[in-house]
Amino acid sequence: MPQDLRSLDAFTDTQRLIVVAAHPDDLETMCGGTIYQLAQRGVEIFSVNCTLGDIGAQDASLNRPTLAAGRLQETDNAAQRLGIRQTFNLGRPDGELLPDLALRAEIARLYRLTQADTLFTFDPFWTGQIHPDHRAAGQAALDAYMPSKMPLYQPAQLNEQGAGLGCLERVFVFSTDRDPNVVVDVTAVYPKKIAATIAHKTQFPEGEANLDWLKEIDHRIGERIGVTYAEQFRQIDVW
């Protein structure tokens, strides 16, 4: 393994981890294997999807609320397989996510409510990111980091039961072209990742047969550290 690459030990101090993604199934495909292992170690995992994923179908005769309702159920099924403690969906329309102040505030609220110490999200600065929702989710997640720690920002959020000032200490981005500095071997738990991913039946109606592309990506990452499958992250400096 290259010298400065870390593995799961990058998360040694993590007790509560929040993942901010755009669509149901983003978490599973991007970092499902890492999440499963962290949950097994006792980390509390919170999953946030900003959109309902409600244009995620090639069948034009579907109506969007029905698709959304199905995907919320799939999200919970997948979460159960990975050991995720709680899922949140912010209800934004798919394909039209914007990193606006309202989204920032809703994400900051979840930082405060979950008291997460670690964040996973999309790298909003990846110049190869062709999906605007991915960029928007990552941007809003980073933008919420700083204000969530300040008591005069959206103070009503602090009145909710269990809420406190934001206390994120570590931020990791995925879907990035920055050099990854964390690569996690997910070979042993790969069946778990697959199982969670195919819980999204509307997206992968033929199950594992729909996931060759994912295996190929994860395999290519694995080669970096000499294993079959891996997931990678870039930890960024925050202050």
Near a second copy by CB under 8 A: residue from 55, 86, 164, 181 = 55
Beta carbon of residue 207, minimum distance to a second copy (angstroms, whole number)? 21
Task: Name residues whose C-beta falls within 8 Å of residue 238's C-beta, 6 or more positions apart in sequence.
Answer: 145, 168, 169, 170, 171
Nearer to a second copy, 8 or 57 (CB): 57
Rule CB under 8 A: is residue 160 a binding residue for a second copy? yes
Nearer to a second copy, 73 or 228 (CB): 73
Report 162-181 residues binding a second copy (CB under 8 A): 171, 178
Rule CB under 8 A: is residue 225 a binding residue for a second copy? no
Work out whether strand 230-236 and strand 170-174 pair parallel, antiparallel, or are unpaired: antiparallel
Nearer to a second copy, 173 or 195 (CB): 173
- From 120, 104, 137, 107, select the one nearest 43 (Cα to Cα): 120
Rule CB under 8 A: is residue 42 a binding residue for a second copy? no
| Interface pattern 59-88 for a second copy (x via CB under 8 A) | xx-xxxxxxxx--x----------------
H or E element in which residue 108 lies: helix 101-114
Rule CB under 8 A: is residue 103 a binding residue for a second copy? no
To the nearest 10°, the Cα dihedral for 100, 101, 106, 109?
140
Nearer to a second copy, 37 or 87 (CB): 87
- Taking the CB of residue 93, how many other CB atoms lie within 10 A of it? 14
Q: Mark the segment that binds a second copy (CB under 8 A) among 40-48, 124-132, 201-209, 224-232.
A: 124-132
State how far the Cα of 91 lies from the Cα of 167, in Å rounded to an integer: 25
127: left (phi over 0), alpha (psi -120 to 50) or beta: alpha
Rule CB under 8 A: is residue 205 a binding residue for a second copy? no
Phi and psi at 95, nearest 5°, equal 85, 0
Rule CB under 8 A: is residue 220 a binding residue for a second copy? no
